[in-house]
Structure 1
Amino acid sequence: MNVESFNLDHRTVAAPYIRLADRKVLPAGDVLSKFDVRFTQPNKGHLEMPVVHSLEHMFAEHSRNHSSQVIDFSPMGCQTGFYLILEGDWEPEAVMGLVQETLEDITTATEVPAANEVQCGWGANHTLEGAQEAARTFLAARDGWSQVTA
């Protein structure tokens, strides 16, 4: 299939993990690296939408304090994780460092950035506490982030 994740057997992965999903060289020679940042076990668990929404806002904001190469942090429709797209040819260990620093920031944040009607399309659909709990859970499994399958 054309979509990389559709070719991944979701029954064989063991979340949480961080996995290089794709690397693209653009026509001008620029490189994009796309990582699967999986928070919950596919088809066994998921993040509630206010948690997904808040993690998206918080990671998008806080990650840019650690790297100017962050292009996007997008939620998966299945609500099990996110795609992190970075400019450049990133190795998984460097991405894990960026993710760790960002999630540590989230655990100590006092608000969800742009969680209001002016800056967000559904400003009431957020939970700081839920996002922080998901970040702490992901951080607690740090030693296993590079192991994608059981």
Structure 2
Amino acid sequence: MPEHMNVESFNLDHRTVAAPYVRLADAKQLPAGDVIEKYDVRFTQPNVAHLEMPTVHSLEHLFAEHSRNHSDQVIDFSPMGCQTGFYLTLAGQWDYDDVLALVEATLRDVLAADAVPAANEVQCGWGANHTLEGAQDAARTFLAARDEWSTVTA
């Protein structure tokens, strides 16, 4: 077994997980007492499949924008470099079912979207690198597996 790493996901055996899933990856209490939670929102099976970068980029924009319509506790929605999912960072201590409801509601917004927010040269560093269709296909696939989101390992 490799040595313990500082980054939580580097200590996760990616061979044992079964995507898609949503799991609490980390929770921290800040010095002032505030809590932040980071969720691993895994769309594809690690080392088997990945999302193409325009899909990742568009999901990032869509989720980041639309999730904030459902909660003011969304801090960030960040893509994983491996292109298999995202980290959803939230303020406060969340009930897991409420996190799943937030993810589901936001992905339903993705399906209803008619454009990727801020997909232009003024608001984005690579405005041409987007695909609404790809983001909606990924959201549709993830939503179709809704009953499996709580199962992290096979």
On whether the aligned pair clears a TM of 0.5, the verdict is yes
Question: Quick check: 1:53–1:126 contact (8 Å CA) kept in 2?
Answer: yes
CA drift at 1:67: 0.2
1:53 corresponds to 2:57 = yes
Q: CA deviation at 1:91?
A: 2.4
Secondary structure class of the residue paired with 2:46: coil
| Counterpart-to-counterpart distance in 1, 2:11 and 2:24 | 14
Q: Out of 92, 99, 110, which is 2:96 matched to?
A: 92
Which one of the candidate residues 7, 22, 27 is aligned to 1:23? Answer: 27
Which of these residues, 10, 14, 39, is aligned with residue 6 of structure 1? 10
- Alignment RMSD: 0.4
SS of 1:135's equivalent in the other structure is helix
In the TM superposition, what whole-angstrom CA distance separates every residue of 1:100-141 from its partner, at most 9, and x where no partner exists?
Answer: 000000001000000000000000000000000000000000
Query: Could you tell me how far apart the structure 2 residues matched to 1:91 and 1:115 are?
Result: 33
User: Matches of 2:117 and 2:57 in 1, distance apart?
Assistant: 11
Q: Is the partner of 2:139 in helix, strand or coil?
A: helix
Tell me the secondary structure at the aligned position of residue 137 of structure 1.
helix
| Deviation beyond 2 Å, 4+ runs, structure 1 | none
The amino acid of 2:94's aligned partner reads: W
Write the distance in 1 (CA, Å) between the matches of 2:121 and 2:41: 28
Q: Which residue of 2 aligns with 1:33?
A: 37
User: Which residue does 1:131 correspond to in 2?
Assistant: 135
- Which residue of structure 2 aligns with residue 114 of structure 1? 118
Query: TM-score, normalised to structure 1's length?
Result: 0.99
The TM-score, its normalising length taken from structure 2, stands at: 0.97
Percent of matched pairs sharing the same residue:
79
Q: Secondary structure at the match of 1:103?
A: helix
Q: Secondary structure at the match of 2:126?
A: coil
Offset of 1:37 from its aligned partner? 0.1
Q: Which runs of no fewer than 5 residues in structure 1 stay unpaired?
A: none
Q: Amino acid of the residue matched to residue 32 of structure 1?
A: I
Q: Equivalent residue of 2:17, what SS?
A: coil
